[in-house]
């Protein structure tokens, strides 16, 4: 995976698609409670109102819209229906 494709800037552009004249603000930048991982809350103003997303820094240095350690969708095998 190309880390430039997972930089905070590239993800903000991908998810919030700001216009050139639209200001983007980082409204919060801190660490999570238990794992102490970094996160950023980024906000953009749109005509219909403000839109904000949280971005999480992963151990490999990339930023994602989901926290580290979160598992994706899967199938639970072994459970039987009654």
**Is the entire prediction scored with pTM above 0.85?**
no
3-state class of 40 per DSSP?
A: strand
Q: How many angstroms separate the CA atoms of 51 and 49, rounded?
A: 7
Residue 11: in which H helix or E strand, if any?
Answer: helix 8-16
Indicate the number of domains in the chain. 1
Residue 60 falls inside a structural domain: yes
Strands (E) in the chain, as ranges, are 24-31, 38-46, 49-57, 63-64
Percent of the chain with pLDDT over 70: 73
Structure tokens at 23: 């200001």
Residue 69 falls inside a structural domain: no
Q: State the residue range of the domain holding 30.
A: 3-64
Q: List the one residue out of 43, 57, 47, 49 whose CA is nearest residue 15.
A: 43
> What's the mean per-residue pLDDT of the chain?
79
Would you say residue 79 has pLDDT above 60? no
Residue 24 falls inside a structural domain: yes
pLDDT of residue 40: 93
pLDDT of residue 71: 56
Residue 40 falls inside a structural domain: yes
Residue 82 falls inside a structural domain: no
pLDDT of residue 80: 54
**Cβ–Cβ < 8 Å for 72, 65:** no
Residue 79 falls inside a structural domain: no
Query: What's the CA angle centered on 60, arms 53 and 5, to 5 degrees?
Result: 60
Q: How do residues 38-63 score in pLDDT, each as one tens digit?
A: 999 999 888 888 889 999 998 888 99
């Amino acid at each position: 995976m190309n880390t430039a494709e997972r930089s905070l800037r590239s993800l903000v552009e991908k998810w919030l698609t700001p216009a050139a004249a639209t200001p983007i603000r980082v409204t919060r930048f801190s660490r999570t409670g238990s794992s102490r991982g970094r996160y950023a809350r980024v906000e953009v103003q749109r005509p219909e109102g403000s839109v904000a997303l949280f971005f999480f820094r992963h151990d490999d240095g990339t930023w994602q819209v989901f926290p580290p350690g979160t598992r994706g969708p899967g199938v639970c095998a072994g459970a039987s229906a009654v």
